[in-house]
């Protein structure tokens, strides 16, 4: 069985020049026999202080190449604590009081849109099956991308960093958010100053409203210490979902990757497997006109 580390080692290394900067990204192409026709795409965004290889090892989303997906993992432009960080609109990096001068010329949301264009040129990407995932700062960037060009995305998964920023689009793509109640970097209940003020449930509820879902979620407890909040739309679907993990700090739950399993603050948790949940969520979207998930359509 191929390990996650072995999968990452076979990734292609590419560069994209954007706004005069050389930006790097890893690319895993679909494995032979994974499917025919246009391929679904996942773009996986690393947290602050790490990089794309660590994120792929943690998320395990490279395993989707066996199912015909292409998986790309770009690198942030800002050096940060021995790794890299994304330039997030209007906020400083964690632990910093002001936005860096060097971040003024970096539009990472626009960079992601340009990366999608580049990947469309490199691969036969199915435009209806582009997915975006991220952890921590990567999740926050994914939130901004969903607001700015959500019409290009089939779904978005945010672990430890979901937001609902303003954007020109009235709707948002289907969203899975996973967050720890013990997160003290991006606190679940908010209140950490202007960098992270809004409680996570409030951000998810605003995403639900933008998607035309019910404001009040349905609450379930699928496992001890795990609470799921489902926002239903008029068709009865559940396109906006928040998973709260009681024992989890600022980490990607269920991963064996130590850098992300206990990232920066708080503890990891094996009570919820975020990698498996994200893979299942991506398989649900888009749906066919008959309401069948694309993965199950004939």
pLDDT higher than 80, residue 205: yes
CATH of the domain at 259: 3.40.50.1820
Q: Which two tokens stand for residue 9?
A: 């080692």
Q: How many residues does the chain have?
A: 298
The total domain count for the chain is 1
Determine the pLDDT at residue 269.
76
Which positions ≥6 away from 188 have C-beta within 8 Å? 179, 180, 181, 199, 200, 201, 244
Task: Estimate the share of the chain in helix, then strand, then coil, as percent rounded to the nearest 5.
Answer: 30, 25, 45
What confidence tens digit (pLDDT) does each residue in 121-155 have? Answer: 999 999 999 999 999 999 999 999 999 999 999 99
Confidence of residue 37 (pLDDT cuts 50, 70, 90): confident
Instruction: Say which residue, 255 or 226, is predicted with more confidence.
Output: 226
Determine the pLDDT at residue 263.
54
Identify whether the C-beta of residue 96 lies closer than 8 Å to the C-beta of residue 102. Answer: no
Domain that holds residue 256: 4-296
């Amino acid at each position: 069985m191929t390990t996650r580390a072995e999968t990452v080692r076979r990734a292609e290394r590419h560069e994209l020049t954007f706004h005069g900067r050389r930006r790097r990204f890893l690319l895993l192409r679909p494995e032979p026999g994974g499917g025919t026709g246009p391929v679904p795409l996942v773009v996986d965004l690393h947290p602050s202080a790490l990089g794309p290889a660590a994120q792929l090892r943690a998320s395990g989303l490279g395993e989707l190449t066996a199912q015909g997906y292409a998986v790309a993992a770009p690198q942030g432009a800002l050096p940060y604590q021995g790794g890299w960080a994304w330039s997030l609109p209007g906020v400083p990096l964690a632990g910093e009081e002001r936005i860096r001068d060097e971040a003024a010329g970096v539009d990472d949301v626009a960079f992601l849109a340009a990366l999608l264009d580049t990947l469309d040129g490199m691969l036969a990407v199915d435009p209806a099956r582009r997915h975006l995932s991220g952890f921590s700062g990567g999740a926050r960037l994914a939130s901004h991308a969903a607001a700015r060009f959500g019409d290009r995305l089939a779904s978005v998964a945010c672990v430890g960093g979901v937001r609902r920023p303003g954007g020109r689009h009235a709707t948002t793509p289907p969203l899975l958010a996973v967050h720890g109640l013990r997160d003290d970097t991006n606190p679940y209940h908010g209140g950490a100053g202007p960098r992270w003020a809004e409680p996570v449930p409030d951000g998810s509820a605003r995403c639900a409203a933008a998607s035309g879902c019910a404001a009040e979620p349905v609450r379930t407890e699928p496992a001890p210490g795990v609470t799921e909040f489902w926002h239903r739309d008029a068709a009865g679907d559940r396109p906006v979902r928040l998973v709260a993990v009681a024992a989890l700090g600022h980490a990607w739950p269920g991963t064996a990757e130590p850098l992300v399993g206990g990232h920066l603050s708080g503890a990891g948790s094996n009570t919820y497997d975020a990698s498996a949940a994200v893979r299942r969520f991506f398989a649900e979207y888009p749906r066919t006109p008959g309401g069948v998930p694309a993965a199950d359509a004939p």
